[in-house]
Chains A and B, each alone.
Chain A
Amino acid sequence: MTETFVSRLVRMVVTLAIVSVTGFLLLHLAPGDPLAQFALSPGMTATQLGVIRHQMGLDVPLPLQYLIWVKGLLVGDWGRSFRDHQPVLTVIFGHLGATLELAGTASLLATWVGASMGMYGAFRQGSRTDTLMTVLSVVLLSIPTFWFGLVFISLFSVRLGWLPSGNIHAVGGAFSLGDYLRHLLLPAVVLALGSTAIWSRYTRNAVAEVLGQDYIRTARAKGLSPRRIRYRHVLRNALLPMITLAGLQLPTLLSGALVTETVFTWPGIGRLFLDSLEYRDYPVAMGILMFSAVLATFGSIVTDALYAVADPRLRAGRQ
Chain B
Amino acid sequence: MSRPILSVRKLAVTFAQGSGPDIPAVEGASFDVGAGETVAIVGESSSGKSVTAMALLGLLPAGAGTIVSGQALFRRDEAHEVDLLALPEREMRALRGRDISMVFQDPMTSLNPVLTIGEQIAEVLTTHDGLTRRQARATAVDLLARVGLRDPGQIVSHYPGQLSGGMRQRVMIAMALACRPRLLIADEPTTALDVTVQAQILALLRQLQAEMGMAIIFITHNIGVVAQISDRVVVMYSGQVVENAPVRDALDGPLMPYSSVLFRTVPTYDAVLARRRRLPTIPGHVPDPRHRPQGCTFHPRCAHFRPGVCDMFRPSLEAAREGHEVRCVRWQEIARG
Which positions in A face B, CB cutoff 8 Å? 213-215, 217-225, 228, 232-233, 236-237, 240, 310-313, 316
Known: A217-B59, A312-B161, A313-B161. A224 touches B127 (CB 8 A): yes
Chain A to chain B contacts (Cβ below 8 Å), 7 pairs: A215-B109, A215-B113, A218-B112, A221-B101, A233-B115, A237-B112, A312-B116
Indicate if B159 sits at the interface (CB-CB under 8 A). yes
Using A214-B110, A221-B59 as known contacts, list a sample of 19 further A-B pairs with CB atoms less than 8 Å apart, ordered by residue number in A: A215-B112, A215-B113, A217-B59, A218-B112, A220-B96, A221-B96, A221-B102, A221-B104, A223-B95, A223-B96, A223-B128, A224-B97, A224-B124, A224-B127, A225-B93, A225-B127, A236-B112, A310-B114, A313-B113
A310 to B113 CA separation, bound complex (whole angstroms) = 11
Query: Are B101 and A214 within 8 A (Cβ)?
Result: no
Query: Are A223 and B111 within 8 A (Cβ)?
Result: no
Query: Are B57 and A221 within 8 A (Cβ)?
Result: yes
A220 to B127 CA separation, bound complex (whole angstroms) = 12
Query: Are B97 and A215 within 8 A (Cβ)?
Result: no
Closest to A236 in B: B114
Interface on chain A toward B: helix, strand, loop, or mixed SS?
A: helix
Give the shortest distance, in Å, between A208 (CB) and chain B (any CB). 13
Query: Are B114 and A311 within 8 A (Cβ)?
Result: yes
Number of interface residues of B (CB under 8 A): 29
A225 to B123 CA separation, bound complex (whole angstroms) = 11
Known: A223-B127, A237-B113, A316-B161. A217 touches B94 (CB 8 A): no
Indicate if B22 sits at the interface (CB-CB under 8 A). no
Q: Which residues of A contact B115 (CB under 8 A)?
A: 232-233, 236
A215 to B105 CA separation, bound complex (whole angstroms) = 11
Q: Which residues of A contact B59 (CB under 8 A)?
A: 217, 220-221
A312 to B160 CA separation, bound complex (whole angstroms) = 9
A196 to B95 CA separation, bound complex (whole angstroms) = 40
Q: Which residues of B contact A217 (CB under 8 A)?
A: 59, 104, 110
Give the shortest distance, in Å, between A126 (CB) and chain B (any CB). 9
Indicate if B232 sits at the interface (CB-CB under 8 A). no
Known: A215-B109, A311-B114. A316 touches B162 (CB 8 A): yes
A220 to B57 CA separation, bound complex (whole angstroms) = 9
Query: Are A237 and B124 within 8 A (Cβ)?
Result: no
Q: Which of A215, A220, A240, A311 has the most CB of B within 10 A?
A: A215
Q: Which residues of B contact A223 (CB under 8 A)?
A: 93-98, 124, 127-128
Give the shortest distance, in Å, between B321 (CB) and chain A (any CB). 36
| B85-122 near A? 1/0 per residue, CB < 8 Å | 00000000111111001101010011111111000000
Query: Are A222 and B106 within 8 A (Cβ)?
Result: no
Indicate if B141 sits at the interface (CB-CB under 8 A). no
Q: Which of A222, A236, A316 has the most CB of B within 10 A?
A: A222
A225 to B59 CA separation, bound complex (whole angstroms) = 13
Q: Which residues of A contact B97 (CB under 8 A)?
A: 221-224
Chain B residues numbered 164-199 whose CB sits less than 8 Å from any CB in chain A: 172, 175
Give the shortest distance, in Å, between A238 (CB) and chain B (any CB). 10
A310 to B96 CA separation, bound complex (whole angstroms) = 29
Query: Are B127 and A228 within 8 A (Cβ)?
Result: yes
Query: Are B127 and A316 within 8 A (Cβ)?
Result: no
Q: Which residues of B contact A237 (CB under 8 A)?
A: 112-114
Give the shortest distance, in Å, between B50 (CB) and chain A (any CB). 11
Chain B residues numbered 53-100 whose CB sits less than 8 Å from any CB in chain A: 57, 59, 93-98
Q: Which residues of B contact A222 (CB under 8 A)?
A: 96-97, 101, 123-124, 127, 175
Give the shortest distance, in Å, between A223 (CB) and chain B (any CB). 4
Query: Are A316 and B104 within 8 A (Cβ)?
Result: no
Q: Which residues of A contact B102 (CB under 8 A)?
A: 221
Q: Which residues of A contact B128 (CB under 8 A)?
A: 223
Nearest 7 A/B pairs, CB to CB: A223-B96, A223-B97, A222-B97, A312-B159, A214-B109, A215-B112, A221-B102
Query: Are B124 and A215 within 8 A (Cβ)?
Result: no
Known: A220-B96, A222-B97, A313-B159. A228 touches B113 (CB 8 A): no
A215 to B115 CA separation, bound complex (whole angstroms) = 11
Q: Which residues of B contact A225 (CB under 8 A)?
A: 93, 127
Q: Which residues of B contact A224 (CB under 8 A)?
A: 93, 97, 123-124, 127
Q: Which residues of B contact A312 (CB under 8 A)?
A: 113-114, 116, 159, 161
Closest to B53 in A: A221
Closest to A317 in B: B161
Known: A312-B159, A316-B159, A316-B161. A219 touches B96 (CB 8 A): no
Q: Which residues of A contact B116 (CB under 8 A)?
A: 312
A240 to B114 CA separation, bound complex (whole angstroms) = 10
- The one of A215, A220, A228 in contact with B123, judged by C-beta atoms closer than 8 angstroms, is A228
A240 to B112 CA separation, bound complex (whole angstroms) = 13
Q: Which residues of A contact B159 (CB under 8 A)?
A: 312-313, 316
Give the shortest distance, in Å, between A244 (CB) and chain B (any CB). 15
Query: Are A218 and B101 within 8 A (Cβ)?
Result: no
Q: Which residues of B contact A228 (CB under 8 A)?
A: 123, 127
Give the shortest distance, in Å, between B11 (CB) and chain A (any CB). 18
Q: Which residues of B contact A220 (CB under 8 A)?
A: 59, 96
Closest to B106 in A: A214
Q: Which residues of B contact A219 (CB under 8 A)?
A: 112
A158 to B17 CA separation, bound complex (whole angstroms) = 53
A220 to B112 CA separation, bound complex (whole angstroms) = 12
Closest to A217 in B: B59
Q: Which of A213, A217, A221, A224 has the most CB of B within 10 A?
A: A221
- The one of B96, B101, B111 in contact with A215, judged by C-beta atoms closer than 8 angstroms, is B111
